[in-house]
Amino acid sequence: MNRIVFTCGDINGIGPEICLKTILKLYNPQRNKFIIAVPQNVFSFYQKELNSALPFEIQKSYKKFNSNPNLISVIDIGNSEIKFGRPTAASGKLSYKSIQTAFELIKYGYADAMVTAPISKTAFEKAGVNFPGHTELLAEWGNIKNYAMTFISKKMKCALITIHEPLILVSKKISKEKIKSVITTAKNSLVRDFNITNPRIAVLGLNPHAGENGRIGNKEITIIKPALKELAFKNLEGPFVPDAFFANKLYKNYDMIIGMYHDQVLIPFKMMNFHSGVNYTAGLNFIRTSPDHGTAFDIAGKNIADPSSIIEAVKVAETIIKNRRKFELHKTI
């Protein structure tokens, strides 16, 4: 059985709605134990909105955790007024507290994986939370130095060298050490988490035409190629010309695509997988997945949010739980 804890995300966005819709669709006590860290009044609101009759238990603390898989465990993180469509200090604090609670459930062995609903970075700032997002926050809590933001779908997997950086800073943030760290983390994840024995990895260039032999920038020559040469992994290729790589559908030949910056790989990824893509933090010592979209403040509270991406996030978490168990079993034999 898999024990999966959901964070509620920003309560003024679609996070609680898509979490409960997912629990309603996937509820199966023989397969999963579901937990959600959310304000009790927010959960109650969506219970009524969605006409949910699922059995649940409200708990004030994870310290007296009920492991009964027949019950949805609702960890109450404190009531709050819902202000649909507005990032507020209160919603930022609660989304942060929900992540904290889920992390502690993982840390103390009450959950196998965390599925995080979308947060608002604006609300984080209003609440005084000084992290750009889940990835950096969870890596620090887990004391993980080498991690990678990855995106998972049946059509393509990709990872980022730089994450949420302004374009003017991207070039300065790229180094041989960072490239080697992300590629190594991605490769290890493909083996351990996705059961791909000899993964094929493609690396994109930074500049148009991958620098055109230094005529349009030299990062490919001075940093990217030397990093790949130092790694010397089997089935590691690049740097590829980014636009031609996707136009010729070369991504189909590889298990992982490594992009230099956010939109370089997220634009093609979301064009192919907008309702089914999953964000996964590779390299953590625990499992965290999420939908690959944001808070959707514009449709919050209207009961029209599509839960497809977070449903896929649960399925990817289940796959990784299974593969990690197999991997650890084989290590001990």
The token pair at 74 is: 């609702």
DSSP-H helix ranges across 108-213:
121-126, 134-141, 167-173, 176-194
Q: pLDDT in tens for each of the 333 residues of the chain?
A: 899 999 999 999 999 999 999 999 999 999 999 999 999 999 999 999 999 989 999 988 777 777 888 999 999 999 999 999 999 999 999 999 999 999 999 999 999 999 999 999 999 999 999 887 888 889 989 899 999 999 999 999 999 999 989 999 999 999 999 999 999 999 999 999 999 999 999 999 999 999 899 999 999 999 999 999 999 899 999 999 999 999 999 999 999 999 999 999 999 999 999 888 999 999 999 999 999 899 999 999 999 999 999 999 999 999 999 999 988 776 655
d(CA 195, CA 47): 38
> How many residues belong to the chain?
333
**Element housing 276 (H / E):** none
- 1-144+284-307: CATH architecture: 3-Layer(aba) Sandwich (3.40)
Crossing angle for the helix pair 308-332 and 176-194, nearest 10 degrees? Answer: 80
Residues 71 and 31 sit within 8 Å (Cβ to Cβ): no
Sign of the torsion formed by the C-alpha atoms of 14, 125, 277 and 141? negative
The first and second tokens of residue 129, run together, are 């939370």
**E strands along 155-312, which residues?**
157-160, 201-204, 236-240, 256-259, 278-282, 287-291
Which CATH number does the domain 145-282 belong to among 3.90.1300.10, 3.65.10.10, 3.30.420.40, 3.40.718.10? 3.40.718.10
Determine the pLDDT at residue 135: 87
Structural domain spans, the chain: 1-144+284-307, 145-282
How many CB atoms neighbour CB 230 within 10 A?
A: 12
- CA 327 to the chain's CA centroid: 21
Sign of CA dihedral 143, 145, 150, 152: negative
CA angle at 246 for the pair 241 and 252, rounded to the nearest 5°: 115
Q: Judge whether 1-144+284-307 and 145-282 match in fold.
A: yes
Q: Taking the complete model, does pTM exceed 0.85, yes or no?
A: yes
Distance CA 67, CA 162 (A): 39
pLDDT at residue 333, as a whole number: 54
| pLDDT attached to residue 64 | 72
| Residue 63 pLDDT | 73
pLDDT for the residue numbered 226: 97
